[in-house]
Amino acid sequence: MMGEREGYCRMDALIKNAKKGDHLAFAMLFKENYPFLVKYLMKITMNPDTAEELAQETMAKCVQKIHLYNGQSKFSTWLVSIATNTYIDQCRKMKREKNWQGQEEIFRKLKWHFESRNEEWNDCLEALGRLPEDVRIPIILKHYYGYSYEEIGEWMKISPGTVKSRVHNGIKSVRRELKLGEETKSHYPEQQTTK
């Protein structure tokens, strides 16, 4: 019982010193907790290399966030929560990348579908496809389907002003990509106004 208590006191002292910027205290915390952390991460990732990488990233985050540790839970529990969130973030990032690759494949199939039926694949569609979803969706809802900024904002849970801004900036981006700024002016001289 006494040894366990001494261990907690030693750990508390290391944490306090680490919070003050003591590099040796950080090194000792690292040495004490790293093997436990790697074993935990190997169980959730099922990949030794990923577990090592995540353990290192977790310890780096620990260095950055040590001031946030409040002592209400064991230090190892705090590290596990950082490691778990880091792993979840990594999974989300990988899922986004996989989704992006899937979207690229769908985009190519859609283009092939149009071209194989001798339908026009508009450069504008291609430019729209490169926009992030949170910009592309409002543009399509507003200009293709005719919904109001208020309706779009309600559906996307953003303000109508944000919708208007995304539509405006997205269209500007598409025009820039298609270099329509100059062409539009030259094709429609009667719409140009001078001040």
What pLDDT score was predicted for residue 172?
A: 87
Pairwise pLDDT comparison (57 vs 72), residue with the higher score? 57
Instruction: Quote the CA–CA distance of 167 and 149 in Å, as a whole number.
Output: 9
What confidence category does residue 64 fall into, taking pLDDT thresholds of 50, 70 and 90? very high
The domain containing residue 60 runs over which residues? 2-91
Does residue 113 have a pLDDT over 90? no
**Mean pLDDT for the stretch of residues 59-86:** 90
Question: Of 46, 76, 91, at which residue does a domain stop?
Answer: 91
Query: CA end-to-end span of the chain, whole Å?
Result: 87
Residue 154 lies in a domain: yes
Q: What are phi and psi of 46, to 5 degrees?
A: 60, 30
pTM: 0.51
Q: Write the CATH number for 85.
A: 1.10.1740.10
Q: Within this chain, do residues 85 and 14 fall inside the same structural domain, yes or no?
A: yes
Number of domains in the chain: 2
What pLDDT score was predicted for residue 97?
A: 78
Q: Within this chain, do residues 60 and 128 fall inside the same structural domain, yes or no?
A: no
Q: Within this chain, do residues 87 and 126 fall inside the same structural domain, yes or no?
A: no
Q: What is the mean pLDDT of the chain?
A: 80
What confidence category does residue 147 fall into, taking pLDDT thresholds of 50, 70 and 90? confident
**Identity (one letter) of the amino acid at 119?**
E
